[in-house]
Amino acid sequence: SKEKFDAIVVGAGPSGNAAAYTMAKAGLKVLQIERGEYPGSKNVQGAILYSNALEQIIPDFREDAPLERHIIEQRMWMMDDESFVGTHYRSDDYNKPPYNRYTIIRAQFDKWFSSKVREAGALLICETTVEELLLDGEQVIGVRCDRLGGEVYADVVVLADGVNSTLARKAGFHGELDAGNVALAVKEILFLPEEVIQARFNVKDEEGVVIELMGKVTEGMVGTGFLYTNKESLTIGVGCMLSDFKANPQRTSPYTLLEKLKKHPSIAPLIEGGEMKEYCAHLIPEGGFNAVPRIYGAGWLIVGDSGGFVNAAHREGSNLAMTSGRLAGETVIALKAAGQEPSAARLKLYKDKMDESFVMKDLKKYRKLPEVLHSSPQFFTAYPELVNRAAKTFFTVDGVDKHSKEKEILGSFRSKRSLTGLMGDAFKLWRASR
């Protein structure tokens, strides 16, 4: 068809939905194309939803969004094979509405978000893959799909097609996916009765707990694990850099890591009896600031995972996706209102908005982290082991005097790393998160 839209949004994940909703709500003519059977059909994971980014788009989302539990306790565990040393932060402040974060099941959440997009007036077409961008010289003027008679036209195309972003690569907007810039994560949803979850995690009603895991669980690869409480299920997963999986001499698969994690003596009792219903593997763009490609050009904008907007250090992705989608939408609205052409120079407004937002500020803050972690496997092997051994020495009462225990602990650190090595690591970590 020769019908022309103000904007075409490719993808109906959090970033695409945020962009489509924002533009449709402002009265723009929006077409959204999703290759899945329905939005969320390709995204079966449980996850954490950070309220703030969604509040900026749909302030009253709590009225009907499918939310699992609001998080009142955040745990961080550093693990070796038998034990963990952890910090737990629990606050009654997190128990006062409006809640700051929730667990969600993505399949349900994406479906809900998409229903809002359609209510706002956007046209959604599913089971349709965008195969390439249509260009007039440098200007993107539409997309070619595998259905719908092929070509559809728009002033602006918003690429919200996720981490693989074949479209942007095909068009030459960014290079091949680098295995050093993406993590491969696997996760499972394990079903358990509500009362069992509440008892095991010391919560009531819809209160929830999040556990972030690091250490021996990734066998020296750069990565982390996690355990989230949903209403009647738990989400457990682990992810490591794809380049590390490739280079791993034992060829450990993500699935093997997850099975090992589930058997850890501190994890097994929490998930015991859980019935596995969903299993999935997915890539996460974790290259950070330095891996962000060009995100705008003549007639096109890149949002969400397609642009690499994930803050791996803080486990945030969907909120960056939604914020970038909203800012892209607001950019198109502003150009439309001013009657301006969607040239690269005009669409730079999106980049400016992103630079001003927490998204680019946070990515910039941690820009050195991926490199530091890559070059310092001791953070994932030696240190977790040392810390756990130190805790054991410290807490075991066995007739050895405390002074000797302190010496033993210090000695064990010094035997693994020189004093300069220890100080250097602390300095590197501090600099990388400054």
Sites of contact with ligand FAD (CB under 6 A): 10-16, 33-36, 42-43, 45, 47-48, 129-130, 160-162, 167, 185, 187, 237, 239, 282, 284, 304-306, 310, 315-319, 321
- Residue 243 or 388: which CB sits closer to ligand FAD? 243
- Longest CA–CA span in the chain (Å) reads 85
- Residue 15 or 388: which CB sits closer to ligand FAD? 15
Q: What CA–CA distance (Å, rounded) separates 262 from 237?
A: 9
Helices (H) and strands (E) in the chain, counts: 15, 17
- Nearest distance from C-beta of residue 24 to ligand FAD, angstroms: 16
- Residue 318 or 381: which CB sits closer to ligand FAD? 318
- Nearest distance from C-beta of residue 73 to ligand FAD, angstroms: 15
- Nearest distance from C-beta of residue 270 to ligand FAD, angstroms: 18
- Residue 52 or 139: which CB sits closer to ligand FAD? 52
- Residue 287 or 376: which CB sits closer to ligand FAD? 287
Nearest to 105 by CA among 50, 64, 72, 67: 67
- Nearest distance from C-beta of residue 307 to ligand FAD, angstroms: 8
Q: CA separation (Å) from 215 to 64, 288, 311?
A: 38, 21, 19
- Residue 35 or 69: which CB sits closer to ligand FAD? 35
- Residue 228 or 413: which CB sits closer to ligand FAD? 228
Please report where in the chains the tokens 């919200």 appear, as a residue: 160
Q: Which residues of 17-42 are buried (b: 16+ CB within 10 A; e: fewer)?
A: bbbbbbbbbbebbbbbbbbbeebbbb
Alpha helices in 248-290 (DSSP H): 254-263, 268-271
- Nearest distance from C-beta of residue 304 to ligand FAD, angstroms: 2
- Are 45 and 106 a contacting pair, CB within 8 Å? yes
User: At what angle are helices 402-416 and 382-395 packed, to 10 degrees?
Assistant: 170
- Nearest distance from C-beta of residue 111 to ligand FAD, angstroms: 11
- Are 103 and 208 a contacting pair, CB within 8 Å? yes
Q: What CA–CA distance (Å, rounded) separates 329 from 122?
A: 13
- Nearest distance from C-beta of residue 397 to ligand FAD, angstroms: 40
